[in-house]
Amino acid sequence: MAVVEHVVVLMLENRSFDSMLGWLYRDRADFDGLHGHESNPWHRDDGKTEQVAVWNDGTVSADAAVIPDPDPGERFHDMTMQIFGLHPDGCPHMSGFVDNYMRQPAQGRCLDPRAVMHCFAPEQLPVLSLLARSFGVCDRWFASAPCETWPNRLFAHTATAGGQVDNAAVQR
């Protein structure tokens, strides 16, 4: 029996699993990633609903590396909408990403509803993909709390965030 000498926890920032590794094992039924037909509804201001699909532009560029820009909302109320959708029925459908993104402060820019559904293919992220294929990847790992980065890092390493739900309180 092998003895485990080290455990390394790699926690990435501001990128979802689907965006970075969702297509790692695209054709495997035992991998909970993307297949290419996933979408989120966008309830437009004109009353129409448009389905926005996951997509990849096939490039590796500085522009692609920062999609979406600005970042999606990370506050508790943002993540609640992302998980439960604009019209929640109590079920976590993961259907509110586009709606929430389109309600973020535009900071003088025109927001693209497709931005939050952008994903990378494994060949676009060769180092990350090699690490993921060479070591364990948690494809069913969920944040301890639907909130910002630091409370979840505290949960991952200490099993509690001490009641904190945003980065500001933790960083004081």
pLDDT, tens digit, for every residue of 20-62? 899 999 888 888 889 889 999 999 999 999 999 999 988 888 8
Q: Could you read off the pLDDT of 124-170 as tens digits, one per residue?
A: 999 999 998 998 777 776 777 778 888 888 888 888 888 887 887 66
Q: What span, in angstroms and rounded, lies between the C-alpha atoms of 57 and 66? A: 13
- pTM metric for this prediction: 0.83
Q: Is-contact 17 141, C-beta < 8 A?
A: yes
Tokens of 32: 């909970």
Q: Which two tokens stand for residue 129?
A: 């993909």
Q: How confident is the model at residue 65 (pLDDT cuts 50, 70, 90)?
A: confident
